[in-house]
Amino acid sequence: MSSHPIAETVASLMPRAQQELAELVAFQSVADWAQFPRSESEKAAAWVAGALRAEGFQDVALLDTPDGTQSVYGYLPGPEGAPTVLLYAHYDVQPPLDEAAWVSPPFELTERDGRWYGRGAADCKGGFIMHLLALRALKADGGVPVAVKVIVEGSEEQGTGGLQQYAEAHPELLTADAIVIGDAGNFRTGLPTVTATLRGMTLLKVRIDTLAGNLHSGMFGGAAPDALAALIKVLDSLRAEDGSTTVDGLAADGVWEGLQYPEEDFRADAKVLDGVELIGDGTVADRLWARPAVTVLGIDCPPVIGATPSVHASAGALISLRIPPGADVQEAIKLLEAHLRAHTPWKARLELEVVGQGQPFQADTSSPAYASMAAAMEVGYPGQQMQISGMGGSIPLCNALTSLYPEAEMLLIGLSEPEAQIHAVNESVSPDELERLSVVEALFLVNYARSKQV
């Protein structure tokens, strides 16, 4: 770690950061009221608002967004004439999945083997703590040199677009010269990285009906159309033999020209079992950052335990389609829907419902903000230069902000490096990464303020 005074301040603040992250992780803030109480998310939002008030933020507000969740906003004035920087994170988290598979409780921050484990530790409660650390270090070093807006979303993981819709209805709220999205991650631990592209996404519910009710498979099987079999055929049509995504009419031959992802590293990061092949063609970077990817997220059908010898009348699935930069999400949805209809067998009845969507994103890496970030990363990560990568995930808000504020420079950094295992069991954050990136963000704000001085 650098011996810069800001780095020394951040290091001294790390015990407090760990305690605060533990408090925030303890809230079971999954923005799905069918799984977790709304009150848990409301408590997390209140905690974030309290933290902003304690740092001197003004106009702190719990914004009731159209999807029924709350985003937290605050404004910290800066010196006269200074630029404004918007810092983003989200406090909502993915559900813990199989809690029995967690080594330690998912909503209890636990230190183990040099990492802090807990749901949201990296994605993205840790991102909010990173923002706090950076601002505290600047205040201790003479003051924050820019005006700061903070927005902490309450439903990013659900993809329901509440903050996006709120921002579009209140476009003056989040205006800024630069935007730092704290919801990405380094390509590898210790390798400073800015994410320049994001795939867009859509979530589509599929339901197939063939019969008025289930039938005895002995008496009717072989002639009665089985809805589950029809669904399996439809889902299978979305992949080629090598596993590549195949949606009729949707381009799937993009090439990633930047930082590459060695296959052996990807296999280790993804924990691919020995002997199991990767899917798709092209480089790993092509597949992750430049091409579409379909995933079946869930299927509604009887479980094996308790299953009866029946021909099924209905079956359903939830499908995710990730869309690379250069493609339009609305066009991709039309192609996906047309594909599913064209590949539904036996004239089975098909119902489709779009339940989430977001456009892909591509940043301008030639902007002054990127130069300011590169200089900051060289200090925060001595001997390393900033890398620019893509990310296969989606942050729908990015495109909304780009549309609302086309002149704003946007950078994506964060704590979700591969070892963090975000969205999986045993999610964790590296405290070293939290410390370094907090230093980086603080120095970025200093550099960016200087770059805007006349």
- Catalytic annotation, residues: 92, 156
Going 355 to 184 to 400 to 360, the CA torsion angle's sign is: negative
Which parts of 295-349 fold into alpha helices (H)?
A: 329-342
Indicate the helix (H) or strand (E) that contains 350.
strand 349-358
CA-based nearest residue to 403, from 69, 188, 175: 175
Q: In 10 A of CB 296, how many CB atoms?
A: 15
CA-based nearest residue to 341, from 355, 329, 352, 330: 352
Residue located via tokens 């008025």: 212
Going 412 to 414 to 420 to 421, the CA torsion angle's sign is: negative
Using CB atoms within 10 A of its CB, is residue 237 exposed (0-12), middle (13-18) or buried (19+)?
A: middle
Indicate the helix (H) or strand (E) that contains 58.
strand 58-64
What is the distance between the terminal CA atoms of the chain, rounded to a whole angstrom? Answer: 32
In order, the DSSP letters of 141-174 are TT--SSEEEEEEES-GGGT--HHHHHHHHSTTTT
Full strand arrangement of the beta sheet holding 428-429: 110-112, 115-117, 428-429
Name the DSSP letter for residue 333: H
Using CB atoms within 10 A of its CB, is residue 364 exposed (0-12), middle (13-18) or buried (19+)?
A: exposed
- With contact defined as beta carbons under 8 Å apart, do 127 and 180 qualify? no
Residue 290 to residue 172: CA distance in whole angstroms: 33
Report residue 64: phi and psi, to 5°.
-80, 105
CA distances from 393 to 31, 78, 92, 128, 277 (A): 19, 33, 16, 19, 22
